[in-house]
Amino acid sequence: MMTNMLEKRIPIKEALKIEDGERCNVRGWVYRKRDMAGNIFIILRDSTGIIQGVLPRNSVSKDLVSLAERIGIEASIEINGIVKSDKRAPGGKEIQIEALSLVGESENFPIRGKESIEYLLDIRHLWLRSRKLSAVMKIRDSVLQGLREYYRKNGWWEVSPPILTQSAVEGGATLFEVNFFGKKAYLSQSAQFYLEVLIYSLEKVYSLTPSFRAEKSRTRRHLYEYWHMEGEAAWFDMKDMMKHVEGLTKSSIKKVLEDRLEELELLKRKTERLELAISSSFPELTYDDAIDRLRKKGVNIKWGDDIGADEERILTEYYDTPFFLTMFPKELKSFYMKTEKDRPEVVLGFDLEAPEGYGEVVGGSEREDNYERLYRRIVEEGYNPSDYQWYLDLRKYGSVPHSGYGLGVDRLVTWIAGLDHIRDSIPFPRFRDRIYP
């Protein structure tokens, strides 16, 4: 083991920028290795990138060659040497290794390529080291930065609602029940009700929390635990909130395009659709018009039927950008959504649909702000009004028009990154019958 590392350590991204002939010291993990007759090639990775190290067998000590030969994939090492340009090397630079130190051994790393998805999910803790998933996690970080920047610029307050609740927001059938010191409680489906409490003091609030839905679906866009960016605002009607959601979405896309072009390129994600989304206004499609379009496409659907994932995929064929689907039948939506004044069978709700077949990424509505109407809707849905008394109280003391939404961060990342499946948008996806690690 060589330990005499005299040069200042720098990230690989910086090493790729320095001039030929300069010395540098980098450390990371062995991404690839090739043993050749004259040289040993070690591709090293860290959180900033990859670089090729070349160890010439004939000009270094036998001990150093022996050490390099036994280093395995994903071993952690530190190398010191001279930078040299080489068009064949990743990033166009390589390091002529003069000294090498083994930090952590790695024998028989269990991922060699062409493994099944199920196998890779079983060893997710190791698969997260892949360049693909590393790129996705960086894109995810930029998505969240873009969202938070927009909130801050527009005067919203970030708050921290609880994850345990006693009230159902979206429906009792999809609740995860827990025993809370002998009392029945549930994992949160949404922070909405708690956010509504806070608009009476802060006016515009948002939160980022995990949400839990015990749906039986296992599709390419469903998770049982997902990250929920939710917002509520006093004095906002449905159109106000749609305008906000459009700006919020564009801010996240813009941040990714500013900071993550390398990662998008690695994922082979073309940026034209993302650039178009920023430069275009998001169109609106009413539920009524959506039903007509689906019928013209041969779909057997009638007014009052739910528009599911298959139907959403068809509707996205009409648009090159995200679009809003609005004005749903009351029976399809939750009790807290306000109904349209002249059409009480329709709610003032909206979904933001991502193009290219990805479908819904945001769901929102104007909230019912009248005590009596909200009370009746709770009873109609078969809930016990006493379980929602604190929520009803908000309509008794200074009620105001207000609107809100929930944005599925994992779905948004899936679309922006152009992923085939939502499982790769989050470090540890939770599916039905699978919690690992």
Residues of the chain short of pLDDT 70, as ranges, are 1-7, 168-173, 217-218, 432-434, 436-437
Q: What is the pLDDT of residue 215?
A: 74
* Residue 85 burial class via C-beta count within 10 angstroms: exposed 0-12, middle 13-18, buried 19 and up: exposed
Cβ within 8 Å of residue 389, ≥6 positions away: none
Q: Between β-strands 323-326 and 349-354, what pairing exists: parallel, antiparallel or unpaired? A: antiparallel
**Residue reference for tokens 């109407």:** 373
Q: CA torsion 62→68→69→75, rounded to 10°?
A: 160
Distance in angstroms (rounded) separating the CA atoms of residues 343 and 225: 36
Tokens (6 digits) for 261: 């072009």
* Residue 434 burial class via C-beta count within 10 angstroms: exposed 0-12, middle 13-18, buried 19 and up: middle
Minimal CA–CA distance to 418: which of 272, 240, 241? 272
Distance in angstroms (rounded) separating the CA atoms of residues 111 and 30: 13
Judged by DSSP in three states, 165 sits in strand
Tokens (6 digits) for 268: 């082979």
Q: What is the pLDDT of residue 340?
A: 96
92-128: per-residue pLDDT in tens?
Answer: 999 999 999 999 999 999 999 889 999 999 999 999 9
Q: How many CA atoms lie within 13 A of 229 on its CB side?
A: 25
Q: What is the pLDDT of residue 429?
A: 93
**Residue reference for tokens 């009792």:** 172
Q: What is the pLDDT of residue 247?
A: 98
Domains of the chain and CATH, by start: 12-104 (2.40.50.140), 120-425 (3.30.930.10)
Minimal CA–CA distance to 94: which of 102, 82, 106, 104? 82
Q: What is the pLDDT of residue 172?
A: 60
Residue 193's alpha-carbon distances to 232, 379, 408, in angstroms, are 9, 18, 17
**Inter-residue long-range contacts of 40-47, CB under 8 Å, 24+ positions, other chains counted:** 40/65, 40/68, 40/69, 42/68, 42/71, 42/77, 42/79, 42/97, 43/90, 44/12, 44/77, 44/79, 45/12, 45/131, 46/11, 46/12, 47/11, 47/134
Q: What is the pLDDT of residue 3?
A: 42
